[in-house]
Structure 1
Amino acid sequence: MKKSASNSVSLQISELEAENARLRAELAIARDELETIFDHSMMGVALVDHNRKILTTNQRFLDILGYTSLHEILGQQTHKLHVSHKDFEGFGEHYDTTLRHSGVVHVATPMRRKDGSEIWLDLVGRAIDRTTPPDLSKGVLWMAYDLTDIRQAYQQLREANAELEGFFANCMIGIIILRGGRRIRRVNQRLADILGDKPPEWYQGKCVSEFHVSQEKFEEFGRLFYNSLVLRDHSQVEFELRRVDGSPVWVSVSGKALDDATPPDLDKGVIWMVDDISTRKEAEEQLARIATTDSLTNVSTRQHFMELANRALAQHLRNSRPLTVCMLDIDHFKQINDTYGHGTGDRALAWFAETVSGELRATDIIGRFGGEEFCIVLPETDQDEAQQVAHRIRTAVTGGSSAAASPIPPITVSIGIALADTPASMEAVIQLADRALYAAKAKGRNRAEIDETMVRG
């Protein structure tokens, strides 16, 4: 009986020893794993006691602060690692407040490396004791991450943003950034100057349609040019916009989608570069006027008149509506030049052209053919209507020039009228009108004659 009890106790002891050995083995494995993690962690790790003395660190912590051996800082206060005594004391507040309250502290702070240089670290401290409040005498585990690269990247980003802001604010080209629904996200000062006297902030949130001359033009712009953004076609276009005060302004525009996807999502933003080309447009229009407008009489030159007349004739042939041509000649104009001088003759020509133009519709075409001879095209006008126009012109010229306040001597005009009916050309119709003009002069001048000859193509 005693022998059996003794065997049972021996068995229990053996089992306990085996369990103890197993636990020790697992503990050794866990310790090895922890040491491996501790030694090879990408973050610096330091164990500090309640007096803020360094108990141990891993190699990464030493590398971050520029030390080669743990013995260089082992047992020393962390005062050595702070940039100043004031900073060291200020950091101690974390022990007295945050750590005692929650057991964890997270802070970014500058530290001092072995060579005296400054380094910014992201520090996370945790009390070893997990009671509440924790017993800090059991130590604090600090984990340190080097923020140097991140801070340098942020600094570079800040500098790049400052450069971009400087470019955006001072660029001599207008810049507008749109977001979803073609609403304005930002404009620069130059764009604000182009569109009026409001500050850039005033435009934020407004729909860009407010700055098109009409809703139709806004929609037309979208149809014509937003497809090119999807296709990443960086074409430059010219378009007329409307300033804040309602006046028109011609601009040159090029845009790019901000989204890098293919195709890009335009709701994520579009940047437009806008240049004011009003001065150039005005110069082009002035050059066009010089090239197409007689400088003395302000009506079309002969070449430009023929271009417009041929278009009118082509439309006449398409829609079969009547079209009439009138040739006009100031009677005895040479006598005016001989009697009053060429200056008066020039004033007479200018007054005559202005008076005749005042009797015409916006769709009618008038040009100076040379000297005192002018030609008129009257679209959608038959023979009777053309004779009424001729009568009005003769009355206005004779009456106006004979008035007491007239700036010129009294003049009269002879007019030849030809009706186009499937003509061979506009030149052929003008020849008929010119023939009718000669008939009017032959019959005593100051009258209108019509040539009803039909010219077949």
Structure 2
Amino acid sequence: MSLRSVDSVWPVNHTQAGPSPGELRWMTLMNIDLRTLAILLALTNLLQVLALFAQYRLNNSYSGPGWWTAGTALVALGFASAFLQDNSTIGSIAIVAASALFSSGMALYYVGLLRFLGRRERPWPLILFCTAVTLVAAYFTYIDVNVAARLINLALAMALLSFLNVHAILANRTRSIATSAYSVALVFLVQGLVLIGVALAAAFSDAEGLYIASPAHTALYLDGLMVSVLLTAYFIIMINQRLNAETREAKETVEFIFNASPDPVVLTRLADGAVVTANDGFAAQSGYAGAEAMGMTTLEMNLWKNPVDRERLVGALHEHGHCDNLEVVLLRKDGSEFTGLLSAKITQMKGVPHIVTVIRDVSARKRAEEAQRRSQELLTLFIRQSPIYAFIKEVTPTGSRVLHVSDNFQQLLGSSVSDMLGKTMSELFPPEFAATMTADDRAVIANGLVLKQDEDFNGRHYTSIKFPIIQGERVLLAGYTIDITERKRLEAQLRQQATTDDLTGVANRRHFLELAQTETSRALRYQHPLALALIDIDHFKKINDAHGHAAGDQALLLLADICRRNIRDIDVFARFGGDEFAVLLPETSREEAGAVMQRVCLAVAARRPDLGRGPVAITISAGIAGLASDGDSLDALLRRADQALYQAKEAGRNRVMTEPASE
């Protein structure tokens, strides 16, 4: 179907005058080939789809350009559908499809803008709106055919979506893309106003078809051409403006990190090591101010103590593209050394390879590690050469494991030090002993307390002290063990010397009094009988004078031996001093004690020992006292026994006297 001529738009009336020049210009404008314009718009939008798609592929981190590309593609298809609207076969379908495609394309612009500005749309209202526009177009196409109504429906729908895009931009704009965003908003605003004008023009015109050259149709197509071109241009500008803003922010962030880093950071050319830039940390560490270092190579700065280290760094960069924690010794401007860990990576600047190097000063850590190593060596040396049994163990839930031991453990356990390291207590000691030791070790670690204990092993006595120590992040158990067998023997010997008479081996006076006090208190508490006997050798001085002190000692030993043979284990026998002895007899009355002493007296008299000058007759005298009522005491008992002994001597000696029963 061909377009109408100027005559068809402006009917000729031969009875009237012809159109004026202004009217002719208007009729010429109306005769623009709208079918050709539709094809031009479809092709233009297709090219814009390609441009936007390229931007989307280059910047696919932004979700907005993808939606704009899809929206422009729908608009292009809408114009293609518009071209087919006068087709007798599919024209009606194309009319409805054009309305659906145009409205959906504008809706996708809105979705893209929200996504680009960091917001999310509500999809269902948009879907329902586009569906309603399509249904209205279908109604005025199939049921009530009305070209003007279809045009008004489409123009108002697109105007509403244009204003919605304006609102999306103004409500969510960001400062970094304000210029381009306002431009896009202006385009949408103008488009919305134009579309309202198109709707008004269609309402007051007599449009018979889409390609009938009416002012509304012409404005609609021209608006579509200009808006599509401007939107694509401004969309691309907005994308690039945002990219520039983000690039600028990223650069500022990198520069801030670069300058704020406490670690030295330096950028050098890969080819010769010339310094391009360096942060304040580098200036503080190297002694070279920023401006002073620029242009100098690291070799000219004498930065490397060993220049081969730079070759190592460059070699690693060529091989891997990066280098992590390369330990080198560097020199400051004043010649002082520091140990640094270098982490570097190759980067391109204007096509020239450069090296970004971060230097971490680990001198303090190296000194600490060296000090710890020396301390560990000293500790190991001290432990291994210790005269006592020293050890360090690691205590775990499964056992107690040896980390360090002194060399003298070899004699104790019969294994070399190397064989003991890493072994548990159950691998070194008998099961029961190992279990006890492991339990003690766990208690020390769990409670954080010092444990001191005595132990017996292989017939010898040991004392151990165990305590927790912190080594790094671990809590270990340290301690030492001392062989106290000889000390125990000496202590027993001293104890014996303190409580025993050296000559006879029986208890001395002090020990006797301690034991006698205990027995006296017990007898009084339980109202049990208790007897005390004091014994004295008759004429002991004459024996010493006549036969010598050695003979006197033999006499004392004889008496001690006979007494031990005639008394019980529970009886307390002691040398009181000189030739005087005492016997405490628990659970014994005066009479029973007298009988015992009588046997001793007879046994001594029956023995005539040879004291060096022939047999000598030896006799003894004894006095016995019994514990009385509750008011009695050991002192009183001794006093009464001594009185009874005195009476025995006064009565002629060689006899036993018991205190009277009334006492």
**Shared fold by TM > 0.5?**
yes
CA contact (8 A) 2:275 2:293 kept: no
> Which AA in structure 2 matches 1:22?
R
1:45 matched to 2:282? The reply is: no
Counterpart in the other structure of 2:146: none
What runs of 5+ residues in structure 2 fail to find an aligned partner?
1-31, 38-221
Select the structure that is richer in helix. Answer: 2
CA contact (8 A) 1:331 1:446 kept: yes
31 and 87 in structure 1: CA distance in 2 versus 1, 3 angstrom threshold: closer
Residue 424 of structure 1: CA displacement? Answer: 1.6
Q: Quick one: distance in 1 between partners of 2:284 and 2:362?
A: 14
Q: Which of 30, 33, 36 is the equivalent residue of 2:250?
A: 30
Q: Quick one: distance in 2 between partners of 1:287 and 1:95?
A: 79
1:72 matched to 2:285? The reply is: no
Counting only pairs closer than 5 Å after superposition, residues 369-388 of structure 1 correspond to structure 2 as 369-382=576-589, 386=593
CA contact (8 A) 2:317 2:345 kept: no
CA contact (8 A) 1:324 1:383 kept: yes
312 and 190 in structure 1: CA distance in 2 versus 1, 3 angstrom threshold: farther
Residue 127 of structure 1: CA displacement? Answer: 4.2
Q: Quick one: distance in 2 between partners of 1:376 and 1:192?
A: 50
Residue 314 of structure 1: CA displacement? Answer: 0.6
Residue 376 of structure 1: CA displacement? Answer: 0.8
Residue 375 of structure 1: CA displacement? Answer: 1.4
Q: Which of 256, 262, 276 is the equivalent residue of 1:56?
A: 276
Greater CA drift, 178-187 or 370-379: 178-187
Q: Quick one: distance in 2 between partners of 1:124 and 1:420?
A: 96
> Which AA in structure 1 matches 2:242?
R
Counterpart in the other structure of 1:428: 636
408 and 330 in structure 1: CA distance in 2 versus 1, 3 angstrom threshold: farther
Q: Per-residue CA shift, 1:393-417, capped at 9, x if unaligned?
A: 3465345554899997342333333
Q: Which of 304, 307, 319 is the equivalent residue of 1:82?
A: 304
Find the residue that maps to 1:321 and give its secondary structure.
coil
Counting only pairs closer than 5 Å after superposition, residues 225-240 of structure 1 correspond to structure 2 as none
Greater CA drift, 140-149 or 427-436: 427-436
Counting only pairs closer than 5 Å after superposition, residues 144-293 of structure 1 correspond to structure 2 as 144-162=359-377, 206=425, 241-242=454-455, 244-248=457-461, 293=500
What runs of 5+ residues in structure 1 fail to find an aligned partner?
130-135, 260-266
Give the CA RMSD over aligned residues.
5.2
> Which AA in structure 2 matches 1:107?
L
Q: Per-residue CA shift, 1:160-203, capped at 9, x if unaligned?
A: 55555566667788867687699696887599799999988869
CA contact (8 A) 1:195 1:244 kept: no
Q: Which of 510, 528, 537 is the equivalent residue of 1:321?
A: 528
Residue 16 of structure 1: CA displacement? Answer: 2.9
Q: Quick one: distance in 2 between partners of 1:406 and 1:274?
A: 57
Residue 32 of structure 1: CA displacement? Answer: 1.9
Q: Quick one: distance in 1 between partners of 2:527 and 2:476?
A: 51
Residue 377 of structure 1: CA displacement? Answer: 0.5
Counting only pairs closer than 5 Å after superposition, residues 350-429 of structure 1 correspond to structure 2 as 350-382=557-589, 386=593, 389-390=596-597, 393-394=600-601, 397-398=604-605, 401-402=608-609, 409-422=616-629, 424-429=632-637
Q: Which of 107, 111, 114 is the equivalent residue of 2:333?
A: 114
TM-score computed with the length of structure 1 as normaliser: 0.68
62 and 385 in structure 1: CA distance in 2 versus 1, 3 angstrom threshold: same
CA contact (8 A) 2:461 2:485 kept: no
Q: Quick one: distance in 2 between partners of 1:399 and 1:205?
A: 68
CA contact (8 A) 2:392 2:405 kept: no
> Which AA in structure 2 matches 1:36?
F
Counterpart in the other structure of 1:143: 358
206 and 323 in structure 1: CA distance in 2 versus 1, 3 angstrom threshold: farther
Find the residue that maps to 1:144 and give its secondary structure.
strand
Q: Quick one: distance in 1 between partners of 2:597 and 2:501?
A: 22
Residue 387 of structure 1: CA displacement? Answer: 5.0
How many residues in Structure 1 have an aligned counterpart in Structure 2?
420
410 and 195 in structure 1: CA distance in 2 versus 1, 3 angstrom threshold: farther
Q: Quick one: distance in 2 between partners of 1:380 and 1:271?
A: 54
Find the residue that maps to 2:259 and give its secondary structure.
helix
CA contact (8 A) 2:501 2:507 kept: yes
CA contact (8 A) 1:292 1:300 kept: yes
Greater CA drift, 147-156 or 69-78: 69-78
Q: Quick one: distance in 2 between partners of 1:61 and 1:288?
A: 75
Q: Quick one: distance in 2 between partners of 1:301 and 1:254?
A: 37
Higher relative CO (Cα under 8 Å, sequence separation at least 6) belongs to 1
81 and 351 in structure 1: CA distance in 2 versus 1, 3 angstrom threshold: same
Greater CA drift, 170-179 or 412-421: 170-179
Q: Per-residue CA shift, 1:178-237, capped at 9, x if unaligned?
A: 876996968875997999999888698559xx9xxx99x99xx99xxx9xx98x8x9xx9
Q: Quick one: distance in 1 between partners of 2:239 and 2:400?
A: 74
TM-score computed with the length of structure 2 as normaliser: 0.50
147 and 70 in structure 1: CA distance in 2 versus 1, 3 angstrom threshold: farther
